[in-house]
Amino acid sequence: MHGDQERQKLFARRTVMLVGGKLALVSMLAGRMYYLQVVKAEQYKMLADENRISLRLLAPPRGRIVDRFGIPLADNKQNYRVMLVSEDTRGLGVDGALDLLHDIVPMSMGERRRVLKEVSRNRSFVPVTLRENLEWEEVARIEVNAPDLPGVMIDEGQSRFYPYGPNLAHVMGYVSAVSEREKTGDRLLELPGFRTGKSGIEKIHDLSLRGSGGSSEVEVNAYGRVIRELNRREGLPGAEIRMTIDVGLQLAVAKRLSNEVSASAVVLDVHTGDVLAMVSHPSFDPNDFNRGLGVEEWNKLINNPAAPLSNKAIAGRYSPGSCFKMLVALTALERGVISPTGKIFCPGFMELGDTKFHCWKKHGHGLVDATSAISQSCDVYFYEVARRVGIDRIAEMAERFGLGDPTGLDLPGEKRGLVPTKAWKREARDQSWHQGETLLAGIGQGYVLATPLQLAVMTARLVNGGFAVSPQLTKSVSTTGVHAVPEHHQFPQISVSQRNLALVRDAMTQVVNSPHGTARASAIHDPRYIMGGKTGTVQVRRITKAEREQGVVKNKDLPWEERDHALFVGFAPADNPRYAVAVVVEHGGGGSSVAAPIARDLLLTAQRRQSARDIPISQTSGSQAALELRGTEDRVRPAAEQS
Q: How far apart are CA 573 and CA 529, in angstroms?
A: 5
61 sits in the region (left: phi over 0; alpha: psi -120 to 50; else beta) called beta
Q: How far apart are CA 282 and CA 284, in angstroms?
A: 7
Q: How far apart are CA 223 and CA 123, in angstroms?
A: 9
H/E stretch holding 346 reads: strand 344-346
* Chain length of the chain: 643
DSSP state of 573: S
Local structure of 431: helix, strand or coil: coil
Q: How far apart are CA 322 and CA 529, in angstroms?
A: 24
CA 392 to chain centre: 34
Residues 202, 74 contacting (CB under 8 angstroms): yes
Q: How far apart are CA 148 and CA 385, in angstroms?
A: 83
Of 221, 207, 240, 262, nearest to 73 by C-alpha is 240
Beta strands in 149-274 (DSSP E): 152-161, 175-177, 195-197, 214-220, 226-233, 240-243, 263-269
Residue 643 is predicted with a pLDDT of 28
- Determine how many CB atoms are found less than 10 A away from the CB of residue 50: 10
Largest CA distance in the chain: 154
Q: Under 8 Å CB-to-CB from 127, ≥6 apart: which residues?
A: 83, 84, 85, 153, 155
H/E stretch holding 288 reads: helix 286-291
Give pTM, 2 decimals. 0.81
Bridge pairing between strands 532-538 and 355-358: unpaired
**Amino acid code (one letter) for 524:** I
Residues 250, 168 contacting (CB under 8 angstroms): yes
Of 470, 484, 458, 579, nearest to 529 by C-alpha is 579
- Determine how many CB atoms are found less than 10 A away from the CB of residue 531: 28
Q: CA angle, 417 as apex, 415 and 379 as ends, to 5°? A: 145
Residues forming a β-bridge with 263: 281, 585
Residue 375 is predicted with a pLDDT of 96
Q: How far apart are CA 552 and CA 90, in angstroms?
A: 77
Local structure of 569: helix, strand or coil: strand
Q: How far apart are CA 508 and CA 497, in angstroms?
A: 17
Bridge pairing between strands 65-66 and 240-243: parallel
Residue among 322, 375, 377, 522 flagged as catalytic = 322
Helix, strand and coil in the chain, % to nearest 5: 45, 20, 35
* Class of domain 247-297+313-476+487-628 (CATH, top level): alpha beta
Binned average pLDDT, 10 residues per bin, the chain of 643 residues: 67 76 80 72 56 65 92 88 78 81 81 80 72 80 81 78 94 82 67 78 91 66 57 79 96 95 96 96 89 79 90 96 97 95 94 91 94 96 97 97 94 94 95 95 95 98 96 89 60 95 97 95 95 90 58 64 89 96 93 95 95 57 36 38 32
Q: How far apart are CA 403 and CA 438, in angstroms?
A: 17
375 in catalytic set: no
Domain boundaries, the chain: 56-243, 247-297+313-476+487-628
CATH number of 56-243: 3.90.1310.10
Report phi then psi at 505, rounded to 5. Answer: -65, -40
**Amino acid code (one letter) for 153:** M
In the 3-class helix/strand/coil scheme, how is 132-167 assigned residue by residue?
CCCCHHHHHHHHHCHHHCCCEEEEEEEEEECCCHHH
Beta strands in 539-615 (DSSP E): 565-572, 579-585
